[in-house]
Amino acid sequence: MNQEEFFKKITAHAKEYGFVFPSSDIYDGLSAVYDYGQNGVELKNNIRQYWWKAMVQMHENIVGVDAAIFMHPTVWKASGHVDAFNDPMIDNKDSKKRYRADVLVEDHIAKIEDKINKEVEKAKKRFGDAFDKEQFVSTNARVLGYKQEIEDISHRLYVAMENNDLAGIKQLIEDLGIVCPISGSRNWTDVRQFNLMFATQMGSLAEGANEIYLRPETAQGIFVNYLNIQKTGRMKVPFGIAQTGKAFRNEIVARQFIFRMREFEQMEMQFFVRPGTELEWFKHWKEERLRWHLSLGIPAEKYRYHDHEKLAHYANAATDIEFEFPFGFKELEGIHSRTDFDLSSHSKFSGKKLQYFDPETNESYVPYVIETSIGLDRMFLAMLSHAYTEEKLEDGSERVVMKFPAALAPYKVAILPLVKKDGLPEKAREIMEQLTPDFMCQYEEKDSIGKRYRRQDAIGTPLCVTIDNQTLEDNTVTVRDRDTMEQIRVNADELYNIIRNKIAPKRV
Ligand code: ATP
């Protein structure tokens, strides 16, 4: 199965099993907007809680906030979003399709990377066990040529983007002979800047309407509350403020399902530190955040850092944690050392002093900030694509199983009476009642036990508990493991601990 087919299967599965639906589906959807169904909302809530617990509950010096989506319009002047939250766009005159100009170039680079990968694959076959990848990619003439080509293109793109040289980006697209994937033509418009913020009006028109924006990131809601929280919470630097919530971006090209949406959710934490210590803290959070991902038990090869060479004007270090999605390694989370840019800028625009008096050094300063920012929907997609597994079983049948980390699975346990009679449903419900205050349980009595197991596999329930006649005699049940399909017989009183152990974070 190639990557495209695999991705199609995931999207279809997500819809069929109540994880993700297109928004306003009965009206044929709304581009790049999605709704989460009965299983999706559980998975999403679990990811959010897992994050909140790790960031807020497990850190004495991190507290939460829930700021409004609407904010004073000057916030976005101060943050730089009004002037600089732009993407360069370009239209193809024949297909009338719109693209992000920089993404067209990046896709072109990805094609050259594919060529390198193909050379590596070919050589691997040729040399067999003796193959040394490092040596091959650093000496093979063809690969070196491709690498040089990538470097030249990346450099030209970087310089043009840095200097806001829109004509230069267009020239690059023309020089590379990039064609529109739909029309196949090179008939491009000029490159223009496009601001990604959604604007709306607040107040009735008679009162004199005020243009405001839907927040494009949750971070600013944290910065404008810095002083309120530092004072009322008597917070001492270093400390952090965490927030989860919706953000809105009018993405030019929204594609790849929930990877790039126009309405999405972020989980962000801004960590305020003493100036001069920010790079140490940057390193700390970079490691800490990767550890969080690994604590879910997902193989480390699925993740990699991508350190930024090109830094935003406000940052002095930045890295992405990339995840291997079905369409390759892509950004899942960003960790940025944002200096004192945000607080200083808000001080300037609001006229309020956003400082910290450090009792240890007896001085006042504007704290520096380390930000960790992860897209909840992107994390959801990472989990969906990691979990989706097709398996051939010993008896020749097949199953689709969602191997979600147990802590995130929508339901932790399915309660299944073997048959719908002989007092088994009543006993099953009695056992379930003991578990529902602590765990999401699903009761199912319809169809054969095999079919019920398959349905639970398809939504990723880690444990199935079967109640049979013997349960009535000695209170024992069968517990079936989703991944190994092994079954054990235990006393129903042990279920609580078994489930707890199953969903506990892995130590890394
Ligand atoms: P990208 O380069 O993919 O556009 P970004 O660098 O603009 O992302 P940030 O502004 O750093 O992203 O946002 C932090 C996180 O929010 C990202 O790592 C990503 O997980 C998530 N995110 C950003 N834009 C979107 C979107 N349109 N849809 C879903 N998630 C998003």
Per the listing, tokens 């989703």 go with 482
Q: What is the mean pLDDT of the chain?
A: 94
Phi-psi map region of 37: left, alpha, beta (phi>0 left; psi -120 to 50 alpha): beta
| CA 312 / ligand 1 centre spacing (Å) | 14
* Total residues found in the chain within this entry: 508
Distance 162 CA to ligand 1 centre (A): 20
Q: Is the CB of 333 under 6 A from ligand 1?
A: yes
Give the mutation target among 261, 319, 378 for probing the ligand 1 site: most ligand atoms within 8 A of CB: 378
First to last CA, the chain: 32
Domains with residue ranges and CATH for the chain = 1-76+196-394 (3.30.930.10), 411-503 (3.40.50.800)
The pLDDT value given to residue 505:
82
Residue 225's nearest CA partner among 347, 67, 115 is 67
What's the confidence (pLDDT) of residue 203? 77
3-state secondary structure at position 390: strand
For ligand 1, atom 1, the nearest C-alpha belongs to 331
**Whose Cα sits closest to atom 24 in ligand 1?**
260
- Residue pair 366/343 in contact (Cβ under 8 Å)? The answer is yes
Tokens read off for 100: 């992000």
Residue 66 Cα, ligand 1 centroid: separation in angstroms? Answer: 20
User: Residue 3's pLDDT is what?
Assistant: 81
Structure tokens that stand for 101 in this block: 């100009």
Calculate how far, in angstroms, residue 375's C-alpha sits from the geometric centre of ligand 1: 6
Q: Is 481 in the pocket of ligand 1 (CB under 6 A)?
A: no
pTM: 0.89
Query: Closest Cα to residue 244, out of 61, 55, 97?
Result: 55
> For residue 244, what is the enclosing H or E element?
strand 239-248
Residues 6+ apart with CB under 8 A from 33: 22, 23, 24, 261, 262, 263
The per-residue pLDDT for 37 is 98
Low-confidence ranges of the chain (pLDDT < 50): none
Contact 263 CB / ligand 1 (< 6 Å): no
- Tokens 């223009």, residue located: 192
Residue nearest to atom 21 of ligand 1 (CA): 375
3-class secondary structure per residue, 121-148? HHHHHHHHHHCCHHHHHHHCHHHHHHHH
Ligand 1 center to 441 CA (angstroms): 33
Q: H/E element holding 264?
A: strand 263-273
How, if at all, do strands 463-467 and 413-417 pair?
Answer: parallel
Q: Whose CA is nearest to atom 23 of ligand 1?
A: 375
What's the CA gap between 430 and 436, in Å, rounded? 10
| Alpha carbon 98 to its chain's center | 25
Q: Sign of the C-alpha dihedral, residues 136, 139, 141, 147?
A: positive
What DSSP string runs through 17-67? TTSEEETTGGGT-BTTBEEE-HHHHHHHHHHHHHHHIIIIIT-TTEEE---
In the numeric block, the tokens 């939250």 are attached to 85
Q: Identify the pLDDT of residue 206.
A: 56
Which pLDDT score, from 0 to 100, does residue 444 have? 97
Residue 302 token pair: 């699925």
Strand, helix or coil for residue 96: coil
Provide φ and ψ at 361, rounded to 5°.
-105, -5
- For the stretch 345-358, pLDDT in tens is 999 999 999 999 99
Locate the ligand 1 atom nearest the alpha carbon of residue 320 and give its number. 18
If one counts every other C-beta atom within 10 angstroms of the C-beta of residue 207, the result is 8
Q: Choose one of 51, 266, 308 to mutate for the ligand 1 pocket test, by most ligand atoms within 8 angstroms of C-beta.
A: 266
Atom number of ligand 1 nearest to Cα 249: 27
Tell whether ligand 1 has an atom less than 6 A from the beta carbon of residue 377.
yes
